[in-house]
């Protein structure tokens, strides 16, 4: 009888916690802000984020392509809240980000204190043998996929600490691939693992100082430009077998699922796996450790001929 009561209590607590996790956070009440910043706003996840956030607050869309940014601004011109584009290419000198963003806020008449959420989301994949590209290309990849997030965290953690009597949120898009090594995607795994570590460390450091940090780990995501990137294509623009095809496969999640996860979990937990494949990858990584995983991946000869 005692055991039954204990089990029932555990089930009730788990169900209540799950219910709490899946409810949307009232962003305006919690973060008392008028602006959210989204990097990678011209991509699949960024566009979905914009479409959901614009119903609640103004959105500063950060991306490198001015024409694409203008299109997004035009799309939402009749909304109650506005889109304010900021053009920045993360392959440029990241030392300039902070001054350029400050200048942009001043020019647009945006009070820094009104910016209370940031989604550090930009990134791309490059599927090729490690030895086939030079150090400069490697450094550029790391700059966009990790250093740029570091620059964003640096800027927004400092800004958010100055916001008085309110919380702020920093949401980072990592990947299920942060949990596992794999062939031909070495720097993608590396930068995403580093990004997840950074996010988790910042969560620990700032949780009680008013900054909610959340890292999301999606499995593959459908309807994005990620798989159109030339680094994911085989020679002659062929789709890379298996890798290029998982976008719309049974393991994929949608940008909407990723964004829903961000907007329900922010302020509640430090990281979230999006999709069953991401959950399985995280579980397997926890149970097996890196040694076994590396060995397993070394057995596959997937796309060996094509990537050479
Ligand atoms: N799609 C997936 O299967 C998947 C799975 C797990 C995690 N993720 C992660 O999710 C995040 C969002 O990607 P997505 O899926 O929405 O793919 P996406 O459609 O390719 O969007 C990527 C975004 O990052 C921007 N970006 C790339 N390089 C940049 C640079 N040098 N400077 C500034 N912005 C740059 C892109 O700008 P342009 O529009 O100018 O290219 C675009 O806005 C990425 O961090 C990605 O690693 C994606």
User: Does the residue 18 lie in any domain?
Assistant: no
Mean pLDDT, the chain, integer: 94
Kindly state whether residue 39 falls inside one of the protein's structural domains. yes
Does 120 sit in the ligand 1 pocket, CB within 6 Å? no
Structural domain harbouring 211: 32-307
3 in any annotated domain = no
The yes-or-no verdict on residue 296 having pLDDT over 70 is yes
User: 37, 39, 45: which to mutate for ligand 1, most atoms within 8 A of CB?
Assistant: 45
Answer with the residue of higher pLDDT: 136 or 164.
Answer: 136
The predicted pLDDT at position 225 comes to 93
The best mutation among 141, 196, 226 to test binding of ligand 1, ranked by most ligand atoms within 8 Å of the C-beta, falls on: 226
The per-residue pLDDT for range 111-160, each reduced to its tens digit, is 999 999 999 999 999 988 999 999 999 999 999 999 999 999 999 999 99
Of the pLDDT bands very low, low, confident and very high (cuts 50, 70, 90), residue 308 is low
In a domain, 230, yes or no: yes
Distances (CA, A) of 254 to 40, 50, 224, 230: 16, 15, 9, 22
Q: Could you tell me the distance, in angstroms and rounded to a whole number, from the CA of residue 123 to the centre of ligand 1?
A: 4
C-alpha 87 to ligand 1 mean position (Å): 15
Q: Is the confidence at residue 39, as pLDDT, over 80?
A: yes
275 lines ligand 1 (CB under 6 A): no
Query: Measured from the CB, is residue 175 less than 6 Å from ligand 1?
Result: yes
Task: Please compute, for residue 130, the number of CA atoms within 13 A of its CA located in the half-sphere on the CB side.
Answer: 8
Q: Which residue, by CA, sits nearest to atom 7 of ligand 1?
A: 175
Tell me if residue 298 falls in helix, strand or coil: helix
Determine if ligand 1 sits within 6 Å of the CB of residue 123: yes
Asked whether residue 42 is assigned to any structural domain, the reply reads yes
* Residue 64 resides in a domain: yes
Contacts of 296 (CB under 8 A, 6+ apart): none
Overall domain count for the chain? 1
Average pLDDT over residues 9-25: 93
CA of 202 to the centre of ligand 1 (A): 22
Cα(40)–Cα(63) distance, rounded to whole angstroms? 5
- CATH number of the domain residue 92 falls in: 3.40.50.720
Kindly give the distance from the C-alpha atom of residue 6 to the centroid of ligand 1, in angstroms, as a whole number: 46
How does pLDDT run across 230-258, given as a tens digit for each residue?
888 777 777 777 777 888 889 999 999 99
In a domain, 15, yes or no: no
Residue 238 lies in a domain: yes
């Amino acid at each position: 009888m005692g055991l039954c009561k204990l089990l029932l209590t555990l089930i009730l607590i788990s169900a209540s916690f799950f219910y709490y996790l899946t409810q949307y956070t009232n962003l305006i009440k919690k973060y008392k802000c008028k602006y959210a910043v989204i990097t990678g706003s011209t991509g699949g996840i960024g566009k979905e984020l914009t479409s959901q956030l614009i119903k609640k607050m103004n959105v500063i869309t950060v991306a490198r392509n001015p024409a694409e940014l203008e299109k997004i601004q035009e799309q939402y011109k009749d909304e109650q809240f506005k889109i304010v584009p900021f053009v920045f290419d993360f392959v440029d000198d990241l030392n300039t980000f902070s001054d350029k963003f400050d200048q942009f806020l001043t020019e647009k008449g945006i009070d820094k204190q009104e910016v209370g959420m940031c989604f550090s989301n930009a990134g791309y994949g490059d599927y090729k043998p490690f030895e086939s590209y030079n150090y400069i290309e490697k450094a550029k990849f790391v700059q966009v996929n990790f250093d740029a997030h570091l620059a964003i965290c640096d800027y927004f953690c400092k800004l958010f600490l100055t916001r008085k009597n309110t919380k702020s949120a920093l949401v980072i898009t990592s990947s299920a691939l942060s949990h596992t090594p794999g062939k031909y995607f070495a720097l993608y795994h590396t930068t995403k693992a580093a990004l997840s570590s950074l996010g988790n460390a910042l969560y620990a450091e700032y949780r009680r100082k008013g900054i909610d940090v959340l890292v999301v780990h999606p499995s593959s995501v459908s309807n994005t430009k990620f798989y159109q990137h030339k680094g994911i294509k085989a020679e002659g623009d062929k789709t890379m077998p298996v890798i290029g095809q998982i976008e719309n496969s049974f393991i994929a999640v949608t940008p909407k699922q990723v964004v829903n996860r961000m907007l329900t979990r922010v302020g509640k937990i430090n990281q979230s796996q999006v999709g069953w494949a991401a959950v399985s990858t995280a579980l397997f990584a926890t149970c097996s450790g890196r040694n076994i995983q590396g060995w397993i991946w070394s057995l596959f000869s997937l796309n060996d001929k094509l990537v050479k």
